[in-house]
Structure formats: structure tokens, C-alpha cells
Structure 1
Amino acid sequence: MRLILLFLFLSTLLNVNIVAATQVAPPVNIAPSLPNTQRNHDLVYQQLFSMHSQLASLDEKLQQQKTLGNDVKTLEAAQQALTIQLSRFQSQLDAQKNLQANKFTGFNGRIGDLKDSINWWFSILTIFLALGGLLIYKLSRKEAENVAHQQMEGFISSNADEILANAQVSLEKQLGEANTSVEYLKKYIDEARQIIEEKRKEVEAAADDVQRSIAEKQEPNPESLRILENSTNKISKGHTTAREYLNLASVGYGKKNYKETLKYLNLAIKTLKDSEKQTRFHAQLLWNTAIAHSMLKNVNAELKSYDELIQNFKSIHNEESWDFVARAMLNQGVVYAKQGKPDDELNSYATLIEQFKGSSNEDLQIEVAKAMANQGITYGQQGKPDDELNSYATLIEQFKGSSNEELQIEV
């Protein structure tokens, strides 16, 4: 507030002095030429005296304006007019040239100093007024903000109960809508999970059915193959798991595209996680690889796959993989028979019988019974009836009391 009053005072003072400056008495008019007489010389000197008086008065006013920092344009105009009049006397005052020149030089110097001084003070005053205006603006803005803040506080204080009541109603409404949305979302998620779970079970059942067909070298069920093929259409090739590769291989097998089957089986084996290695799933992949080689009539590759499966799992104390091991030993013996290698064939059967003859697992018992039967046939082909009869007798003795239909067929 003080700065505002100071600003108004300076503005008023500045205006007063500017008006005063504009009221400078005009210079005395002098005739354009004067006769060169003693009387006229005296008149000239009188006029010069009058002009000096005016210059003195002008100097005094310039000093005042310098102190107040006012506009000096009017004073400068008066000074210019007086200078013009003085110049007219130059031709009449040749005799007093040096004296008059020194006087005018002195006057001009003082007037120049006054001009520079007045200009400097005018610049200072301009900067001061600008800074003052900025301070006044900031103070006014701060006062306005304070007033607005006080009014807002007063409004909130006066209407606090109503504001809180409205906020509570709005919040309860939003919470109710949010709870309804959450319940709907939970129901939707539960339904989606149920559908996904049912679809997963359907795909797994189809995959198991196709795998059984592969194990038995049979044609896959068309419906199971269709379900499995539809599921593989959604597989992302960039982030495929080993199980997804197995499903892709199964579809290739169902289409009798055994090269594609081998491609996906090899990718599945390479993609196996550490936790999946030496598990039933790993054994299944090796078994399917051997079957795919068998369908391509690649005997050496088939035997190699059987051997890899046997060496990886025959010493593992995990019976869930032993059915694949037993099948691999049995099929290995059959392949050796086709190659005309009865000794290797009999060795495969003997290894199978020795490792699993004491197992109570019916799947393993079936493989043992088949090995004993094939062993007897091979001994007969070799002209060894005693060994042949011994193999049959062992088979009959061990499984004659079983109720399993497949075992009874072998007996």
C-alpha cells in the first residue's frame, strides 16, 4: 500500500514540474540587424544582459528539473530558440568575438551537462517506476489470492455439512456401482475359467487318445485328431512349449506327414525344461521319435531312438516311465529279428524279462509275457527246442492265474 501511495505522489510531482517547465518565458525578440553605432552597441549589450538573465533563469530551471527528474523537452526548445537569437548578434559583435565566444562556450557546456544529467535521472526514474509497478502488481496479486483464499475457507466452513453429505452420497453410489461391476466381472471370469478348463480337458483327452494310437501304430481317432488340430492352430510358434510341439507332432502323425512329426518332436526335446527331463513326458517324446522313424522305414534311426530311451530310463527308480522302456526293449528285439540278428534280438528280450519279471504293474507284465513268447519263437527258429519249451513254460507258469485278457492271450 505504501508503494502505491509513493507511486501516486511521484506521478503527481512529475506532472506538476512538467507543467512548470512548459511555462518558461519566451526569449526576447531582437531585431534581425542592428546599426553599428555606440548607442546601438549599448542597446546590444542591454539585450545581451537580458538574454544572459534569461539563460541564468533557464539554468536554474534546468537544475530544478534535474533534481525532480522531469521532462526537459520544453526547456531544450527554449534554449534552442535563445541560441538562435544569440547567433544573430554574432555579426554585430566581431570586436568582442573572443569574449563572447568564451561566454557562449561556457553556457553551451553547462547546458550539455544539464542535458546529460537530466537524461540520466530520467532513465533512473523510468527503471524505478517500472520496478515499483512490478512490486505493486505482485502485492496486488498476493492480496487478491489472500482474499480469494479467505472467501473459499469461509464458504467451505459455512457449507461443510452439506459438502460432506453430498460427497458421502456420491461415494456410496460409486462404491455400489463398483461392487456391481466387480461381482459381474468375477462371474464372467469364473465362467471363462470353466470354459477354458473344459476345453483344456477336451484337448488333453484328444492328445492322449492320439498318443495311444501312435503307441500301438494304429490310425488315430478322426474326432480326437480334429480337436487336437484345432487346438494347435492357436499355438504361437514364437513361444511354443514342448507339449505344444508334441501336439503339433501328433497332428502331423495323424496326417501321415512323418517328416513333420519328427521335426516337431526334435523341437519338443530341445525345448524341454530341466524339470521335464528324465520324466515320463521325456520318455514319451523319445518313444514317438522311434515310431516316426519306424513309419519312415529308417531302421537304424529307430534302433538309435530305442537305445537312447533305454539308456536314459532303465536305471531310474521311477516306474511311470518303465512302460516306455519295456516297449522299447521289445520293439528293439523285433527290429533285430527283421534284420536277421537273432542274438541281438534274444539279448533284448532277456534284458526286458530280467528287469521287469517281478513287477506287479500289469502293463509291464504284458511286455514281459510278449518277450517270453517271442523268445520261444526265436529259439524254435534257431533249432533250440529245449530253450523254446523253457520260454513257453516260464510264461505259462508266471501268468496262467492272471485275469488280464491280454496276458491270457499270451498264455
Structure 2
Amino acid sequence: MRLFLLLVSLCFILLQTSSANEPLQNTGQKHTQQLSAIQTKMAVLDEQLKQQKDHAKGIKQQLGGDFKKLEETQTNLKIQLANISNQIIQQEKVLNFQLAKQEQSQNKELNVFDGRISDLSYELNFYSILITIIALILGFSTSFIAIYKAKSEANIASKKHMSEWLKNNSDELIAQAQVTFQEINQELKGKFDKFERDESERMQKFSEIRQVKAKLIDSLSLDIQSLTYKSFEHTRLNVDDWLEIGTELFSNNQFSLSIIAWDVITSNIFEEVDDLTLASALSYKSTCLDKLAQPEAEIKTYDELITRFIDNDNDTIQRRVAFAMFNKGVTQGQLNQSVDAIKTYEVLIAQFKEFENEAVQESVAKAMFNKGIRQGILTQPKEEIKTYEALITHFIESDNEAVLEQVANAMFSKGITQGQLDQPKDEIKTYEELIAHFGESDNEAVQEPVAEAMFNKGVVHGELNQSKEAIKAYETLITHFGASDNEAVLELVAKAMLNKGVRQGKLNQSKDAIKTHEMLITRFIASDNETMQERIANAMLNKGVTQGQLELPKEEIKTYEELIAHFGESGNEAVQERVAKAMLYIGISQVQLNLPDDAIKTYEGLISRYGDSHNPEITVIVLQAKKRLDEL
């Protein structure tokens, strides 16, 4: 009986499944027919779209790069289609949700059926499980088919919706594209016309600039005075064009022609020229006049620049005014107009002394130093010292290296002036202040006055017969700057070594003097510097003299011979004087060694080499040699 019930139940399920599948199949056939019709319409629409694309492609070829605008429009359409697609996806999600609920309902019915089957007898358990599995498979198949059919219907509906939308809106889209094309075409035409006009104007201006330059260059072979800024009053060039022409000529060192360009800018040809351009033009013009050695016209140009812009607040223009004042003073000094130069420097100092711009401060410091120099030329040492002291006081704490160079120079010059006033103690004190403040500076321009101060300090001590203090001053210079690469500083080191040796000789420190001279010779023997060669020749001669004082005639002769061998062919007259003296001293030493024949040969060689010399010092040495030769 239970078996019969089981078979009846199974048949019932199969009939239910069949009846469920039948409407789905009918529905599937119906959808298939609809799909076929939609696909046919889609094909027609695709063909129409293809034609539209071909038409658009032709338009794109006509308009070239402007088709990018249409592509942007198409991109917007794609975005709209994407939005529609999103809507379809949302509809699909709703259908999937409904199908999932149907699947859950069927699963519940199967679970109920499973409960009924579990009541069957134990011996039919295997068949019950088998039948249950079959039922589950059939149930899942039904659900899968239903879901698949629903998704297919949704996709077909979305495609149909999209095709219908494109069909209904294609004319509007094409019309919008045509309007966009026309707008872009008009815009590009306007830009092209503007570009064509600009290029035409640029080419015309370029041609005129070339003509102006050619006219200026051609004037070089003619009378330059016949060509002035008035020759170009009717050109269409603007201020910037003339600025370009002027700077180009200036950079090519064509200063006379460059002046014409600056005169065009500074004349009344143009209705309005900005102050900075005017100041620049006047600065360039003054520099050109300086290069052409026309100091009077140069000063006149400086005055024009100063008068026009003395009260201008622009920092760049103020720098140009300060430079003009300083350069005017320099030019007046070159014309030996020291009084006028001092007045110019004083105006600059008064106007810009408190100006914070570093470049202007450099001009002020240079003006103060040059004012002191001019006062020295006018033999006004006290005023000169006051000017140096004002410079030192005002700028001693400056961080500007160029300004500090002027401070160091002022200190050194102050010491020199104090020496001229016979104030040796004040002079030494000033040198010591300079050394203390700038002794560790790495600035080569500052190192030179420091080295000179050290050397001069030694010289002043020597003049005061303070040989020990002088030697210390020289040693300080040698120790501090012995390894310097600055040629001017090394010359002072060599002088310090030479003077140190001389001072040691005066203190009867002959052996120390010889060592000092040997140090100088060894350190600088390979130098090509003529001043340095003079120092070395002096050191060799002094070494030989000192050896003679120590009654070392053989060593003395050897030192003189080294001097002659090294400098015998020198073209430096001061060095040749040392060579002539060395030959004379060799002859004297040979006589002391009782070698008269050798002395005769030495004197004869000296007379033969330098007998025709026009150097007064060498002539005296030759006469001494002749006298000693006669005595032999």
C-alpha cells in the first residue's frame, strides 16, 4: 500500500513539473519570435547607424582635427546609453529577485514532500532517497530554466529599448552634431583669420626690423654723423623693438649704432615710455659713450639719468641712478676734475647712504673710498682720513663682501696716509685693526690689503729700528699667507722673507739670515713672475754677501755662480744688476783667495757682457770692475 502511494505521489510530481514547463516553453517560443523581429529591426538600425557613421566620417575628413568635437558629443551619447543600460540592469535585478522568491517557494514545497516520504518504511528508504534526489534535480532544473528565460527576456527588452531610443532620436542627434560642426567651423575660421593677421603683422615688423638693422650697419661705411634717431621717426617699430635692436648692437660692440637706438627710445618719438625702459636706455647709452672714450657726453648722459629719476621709488631705477652717480664721479676723476668728483660722490653718499639695497650700498662704499682717494690727490690727508673713518664706521658690520672689500681698502689707505703724516704708531695701530678684523677672511680681494698691512707693519717697525718687531710682523705674514694661491699676496710673502733676512743680518743673526734667504729661494725659484725673480736674485746676492761676512769665500762664490747660472739670460734689468754685482763680488772673493788669474777672467767677462749697457747701476759696476782689473 505504501509503495502504491509512493508511485502515485511520484506521478503527481512529474505531472506538476510537466505542466509548469509547458507554459514556459510556450512563452519561450513567443519570446523567440519577438527576439527575431527585434534583431531584424536592430539590423536595419545598425545599417542606418553605419550610414550615419560613414556620413560623419566624411564630415570628419572635411573638418580635419575639428571632428574631436563630434567625438565628444558621441561620448556624451554613450554616457546616456550607459545610464539606460544601468536602468535595464536595475530591472534585471528586480526580475532576479522575483525568480529567487519563486525558487524559495518551490524549495519549501520539496521540503514538505521530503517530510512525507520520510514516513515510509525503512526498507523503502533507499528508493525514497533516490526519488528525493530526482525531485530536487527536477526542481533545480525548473528554477534554472525560469531564471535563464527571465534574463534573456530582460536583455532582449533592453536591446529593444535602446534600439527604439536611437531610432526615435537619431534625427535630433544628427542635427545637434551638424550644429556643433558649424559652431566649431566658425570658431576655427575666426582663430585662423586672427593667426593669419598676427603672422602677417609679425612678418612685416620682422622685415622692417631687418631693414633698420641693415640701414644702421650700412652706415658704418658712411659718415656715422649723418644717421641719427630722427632718421627713424616714421618707422612702425615700437619701444620693445628698439630695445631689442639696441641691446643686440651693444652685445656686438657696435656702440655708435647702439647709441642711435637709445636715442630713439629717449626721444619724443613715442607717446609713452615706461620709466624703467628710459632709465635702462640712458644707462646703456652712457656705457657706450664710455667705451667710445667720450667722457663729456658720458657725464651729460649721467646727468640726464640722475635728473629724471633722482626721486623715483622703483628699486631697479634707484640702482641705476646710484650707478650713474658713481660712474660720473669716476669719469670726472679720469678728467682730473677731483673737486667735481668729490662733489658727485658726496651727493651719492647723502642720497643713498641709508638705502638698504646691497647693490646701492656697494656704490655708496665705493664712492666713499674714491672720495678719500681724490682728497689724497688734492693733498688733503686729514680730510682723507676722516672719509676713510666714516666708511669704516658705517660699513664695518656689513655682510656684503663687496662692501667689506672697500672697508679693508679704507683701513689700509688710512694707515698709508697716517704714515705720510709721520704718525707711525697710529699707522701700526690701524694695520693691526685691519689684521684683527679681516685676518681670517677667505675673500681674496680682502686678503691683499691684509697682507699689505702685515708687510707695511714690518716696514714701519724697521724704520723705527724695531728689528725684532719687524721680524715678527714678517713671520706673521709668511706663516699666514705662505700657502696662498694669490699671486699678489705671494709677492708680499717673498718681500717679507727678503726683508726678514735683511733684518736678521742687522741683528748679527747671519746664519738665520742665510736660512731665511734659502727658504725664499727654494720656495719661489721656479716662479715666472718677474717681480718674484727680482726677490730671488736679491736673496741669492744677500746670501752670498752674508757668507762673505762669515768668511766663507768658497760658499760665497758658489752662491754667486748659482745666481749667474739661473738669471744670466734674464731680460729684467733689475735682475741683470744683481747678476753684474755677483760677477763683481766673485772677482773680489777670488782675489781674497789669492786667485788673481781667475779674478782677471771674471772682471773681463763682466766688462765684455755689460760694457755697452745703458743702465746707470750696471755702468757703475762695470767701472768698478775695470778699476779692479787695472789694479791687478
TM-score, with normalisation over the residues of structure 2?
Answer: 0.32
TM-score, with normalisation over the residues of structure 1?
Answer: 0.49
